[in-house]
Amino acid sequence: DQQVKQNSPSLSVQEGRISILNCDYTNSMFDYFLWYKKYPAEGPTFLISISSIKDKNEDGRFTVFLNKSAKHLSLHIVPSQPGDSAVYFCAASDAFQGAQKLVFGQGTRLTINP
């Protein structure tokens, strides 16, 4: 039972354009959402998060949007840079379970083309 789904395994975007990575979830008790970025042979690193009481959170070039009614969130990267090429994971924590662990999606491999 995949509670967090990233339906696009890969995405290719031209440098300077906007990258949009999508994530859907099924558990309505998820109340906090995070995005992680992973380079090859490294562990995932935290990128940005959003609480379920908000619908947008922005940090520099990165913005996360949350649509609770649709159980959907997205990560926007503007402008995209070659260093953004990585695998991006969406993750969620379950308040009902004490928010003690994260449930991750399958990841989306983003490639930024020069």
Partner 1 sequence: GAGVSQSPSNKVTEKGKDVELRCDPISGHTALYWYRQSLGQGLEFLIYFQGNSAPDKSGLPSDRFSAERTGGSVSTLTIQRTQQEDSAVYLCASSLYRTANYGYTFGSGTRLTVV
Task: By CB under 8 A, name the binding residues for partner 1.
Answer: 2, 4, 6, 9, 32, 34, 36, 41-46, 49, 51, 89, 91, 93, 98-107
Q: Contact, 66 vs 73, CB < 8 A?
A: yes
Kindly tell me which of 69 and 100 has the beta carbon lying closer to partner 1: 100
Nearest-approach distance from CB 74 to partner 1, in angstroms: 17
Nearest-approach distance from CB 29 to partner 1, in angstroms: 13
Q: How far apart are CA 52 and CA 92, in angstroms?
A: 10
Kindly tell me which of 12 and 45 has the beta carbon lying closer to partner 1: 45
Kindly tell me which of 20 and 102 has the beta carbon lying closer to partner 1: 102
Strands 10-14 and 108-113, by their bridges, are: parallel
Give me the DSSP letters along 3-43: SEE---SEEEEETTS-EEEEEEE--TTEEEEEEEEE-TTS-
Nearest-approach distance from CB 90 to partner 1, in angstroms: 9
